[in-house]
Amino acid sequence: MPAQFTVIGNYVSPYVRKVLVCMDLKGLSYEIDPIAPFIGDERFTKLSPLRRIPVLIEGDMVLNDSSVICQYLEDRFPTPALYPTDITDRARARWLEEYCDTHLASVLVWKLFYQKAIRRHVFGETTDEDIVAKAREEEIPAALDYLESQLPPAGYVFGELSIADISMTAYFRTASFVRYAIDAQRWPRLAALVEKVQALPAFQKLATLEEAMLRMPLMEQRAALAAAGAPLTSWTMGTQPPRKGFERME
């Protein structure tokens, strides 16, 4: 049976990871063109005018933005529910998702992972150590203080697994690629939650594929993923040399 959906986006992206985890939990099949936005060709630009990942395709429908995609999947496939039933909890879950997609992404992905991995290994540039130091010493701790204050003493944020738990964990997984780990002494609730969610089969399946391509040059990642059994498309939009622009992941 052909895959129900096509996803465009790299396995290392926390935004892509969030979508793929939701799809796995809902039992949805997909094929993926695992490109980074930096190498997307003009076909990619037509589908994603802001040159961001992930993109979800179903027939003639094209959706951009991970939060839009996850909400669509929830509305269309409501079981298992990944947003709380209670209206207040649902609003809080959406806020935590937004906080992760914006501020947590800024400090963990753009000021840490991008500086230490993408700038160095994709664009051949020197890491801006001042940006990294400020993120590690000031901005990341402040973000983690806030998240710690939002969590219960144990378990998932709203009792059952939700988009809030998935979103938080997705970003710390990407940060781990540049050896960032939550200090469990300082943020015990957050550290325990991320460990619990990362142990779920949906995250573990992706971790196997992430590790297969993590340290590969962009143009070699597809072959590595094929060897690891990733559900790849028969085509790719990742045909351009790495280039800068206003693209990012979302």
pLDDT in tens, 131-145: 999 999 999 999 999
Residue 2's pLDDT band (boundaries 50, 70, 90)?
Answer: low
- Give the pLDDT score at 219: 86
Please state the rounded mean pLDDT for residues 238-245: 84
What class does CATH assign to 87-198? mainly alpha
Q: How far apart are CA 67 and CA 59, in angstroms?
A: 20
CATH 1.20.1050.10 domain locations along the chain: 87-198
5-81+208-249 has which fold? Glutaredoxin (3.40.30)
- Extract the tokens encoding 16: 């892509």
Q: pLDDT tens digit string along 26-65?
A: 999 999 999 999 899 999 999 999 999 999 999 999 999 9
Q: CB atoms < 10 A from the CB of 232, how many?
A: 15
Res. 217 pLDDT band, cuts 50 70 90: confident
Six token digits for residue 154: 């144990």
- Where do the CATH 3.40.30.10 domains begin and end in the chain? 5-81+208-249
Q: What is the pLDDT of residue 122?
A: 86
Residues in the chain: 250
